[in-house]
Structure 1
Amino acid sequence: MKNFGDKVIEFNKNLGYNGPLPEGFRVLNPYLENPETLEVMSKFYHKYYNDTQPRKLILGINPSRHGAGVTGVPFTDTKRLLSECGIEMKSAYTHEVSSVYLYDVINAFGGPQKFYSQFYINSPFPLAIVRKVKNSWLNANYYDDKALFNCVKDFMISSLKKHISLGLHTDKVFVLGKKGADYLTKINKETSLFGEIVALDHPRYIQQYKSKEKEIYIDQYLMALHGY
């Protein structure tokens, strides 16, 4: 019988988006672009999900280029992957502000081992999206453009169903980012995948704009997560 971690690794290995995209958008698949991403991602899920216990689901938006877009682990840059999880990635070095905040929450909860034994983090759209702005490609969210959302919506629903099949509680889902929660609520009205949707402020927003009140936000997260 496959354990939870094996199922996640298999999901990630088979991940790919071949659908349409509006002009100026691209989808990045770290598992195809860097062999070490598959390696460190597999180490992470073997380390923290080597069992068959069901988890509670936490959803972001879609991976950033510097977080899961590099490591394959949601909200985890290479710095946190090494310092907090003990897994080194040699081919890249990234710092992601959302990762800083989320690992503050994880440590306040009791550390990675305790946190990941209860929670599974991913995104409704599980690959990184970038948008061309002048001569650069910048992070984009699936809801930034109406045409983009319409293109990826069916893929998102399919991905969410696959996440649930890993072994997740569906009576409550935690969503990081108020706008993402609004979009997930719309999807949920059509699909009835989840019971209650609990919206929390996005880690990037807190770390960038509310850093002085960070402890208050950490407490809000802990109250929501413990009050499951």
Structure 2
Amino acid sequence: MTFSDNAIAYYNSLAAPTNLPPTVDVLNPYQEPPVKAIVEEFYTRFFNDNRPRVFVLGINPGRFGAGVTGISFTTPQNLRRYCGIDNDLRDTPELSSRFIYQIVEAFGGARDFYSRFFLTSLFPLALTKGGKNYNFYDDRLTTEALWPAITNTVRTQLAFGGDRRVAVCLGRKNETYLQRLNKQQGFFDRIVTLDHPRYILQYKTKDVDQYLDTYIATLHDCLESQ
């Protein structure tokens, strides 16, 4: 089976956990027919091979990115503009997606970028609390409830075709949890960490160009270490 075969089957099978605190909600777009079609087209177009990818791991999806499209760090409009995948989903504001697709373009576009990298998250479904984005590590009970699912997410996705020699972690706090997971499971030989795109565009807008350079250099270094 190809990377795309495995990924499509995985996302189509995702179910929301039932053991979360009552104030935390889960968005699972993968049961919606338009998203099923997007996932199939996206992975068939960019991952229809057995080439190992470097994993780039975020926290969990936001409600305006993969929480809508099913594609990590990708809004409906960026899915059309950069990936060539038409859709009728409502355009959504998502800072992280804006930054990520500047990186994608710096690598020659979606086809070249996705031939080498797999954008994903430690937990694959969007979380919200009070209608706002929520991170799996924002409270201890949620972290503990999701830890088995997080472990299974990374283990299962690595079987799609992951390069275990290096992983890229997005977010300094996220690094704490990915390092803990890696110590427990030995998924990757090493982990390199970058500031999260949302943090950059929300708090460091004056330094965006510098952050873009750092991202591009770091990702190139990961490829050279293969």
TM norm structure 2: 0.95
SS of 1:227 mapped into structure 2: helix
SS of 2:115 mapped into structure 1: helix
Q: How many residues are matched?
A: 222
Does structure 1 residue 222 correspond to structure 2 residue 216? Answer: yes
SS of 2:105 mapped into structure 1: helix
Cα distance, 1:91 vs. partner?
A: 3.4
Residue deviations 1:164-223, cap 9 Å, x none?
A: 111101121101111001111111111111111111000111112212211111111111
Preserved CA contact (<8 Å) 1:67 1:99: yes
Cα distance, 1:94 vs. partner?
A: 1.6
1:214 is aligned with what amino acid? V
Partner of 2:22: 23
Cα distance, 1:113 vs. partner?
A: 1.0
Residues 98-113 of structure 1: pairs in structure 2 closer than 5 A:
98-113=96-111
Does structure 1 residue 140 correspond to structure 2 residue 134? Answer: yes
Residues 149-188 of structure 1: pairs in structure 2 closer than 5 A:
149-188=143-182
SS of 1:173 mapped into structure 2: strand
Partner of 2:94: 96
Question: Which runs of 5 or more residues in structure 1 are unaligned?
Answer: none
Residue deviations 1:122-150, cap 9 Å, x none?
A: 11100011112xxxx11100000011000
1:176 is aligned with what amino acid? L
| Matches of 1:209 and 1:41, distance apart in 2 | 32
Preserved CA contact (<8 Å) 1:78 1:95: no
SS of 1:166 mapped into structure 2: helix
CA distance 1:178–1:6, shift in 2 (3 Å): same
| Matches of 2:40 and 2:91, distance apart in 1 | 18
Residues 72-91 of structure 1: pairs in structure 2 closer than 5 A:
72-91=70-89
Cα distance, 1:152 vs. partner?
A: 0.3
Cα distance, 1:17 vs. partner?
A: 3.1
Deviates more, 1:15-24 or 1:142-151: 15-24
Alpha-carbon RMSD across the aligned residues, in angstroms, is: 1.1
Cα distance, 1:50 vs. partner?
A: 1.4
Identity level (%): 39
| Matches of 1:3 and 1:188, distance apart in 2 | 25
Preserved CA contact (<8 Å) 1:181 1:199: yes
Among 128, 131, 151, the alignment partner of 1:130 is: 128
Partner of 2:36: 38
TM norm structure 1: 0.94
- The 4+ residue runs of structure 1 with deviation greater than 4 A are none
Cα distance, 1:23 vs. partner?
A: 2.3
| Matches of 2:87 and 2:206, distance apart in 1 | 31
| Matches of 1:219 and 1:109, distance apart in 2 | 12
Residue deviations 1:27-58, cap 9 Å, x none?
A: 111012x3101111211111111111111101
Question: Which runs of 5 or more residues in structure 2 are unaligned?
Answer: none
2:37 is aligned with what amino acid? E
Preserved CA contact (<8 Å) 2:76 2:89: no
Preserved CA contact (<8 Å) 2:46 2:111: yes
| Matches of 1:211 and 1:83, distance apart in 2 | 23
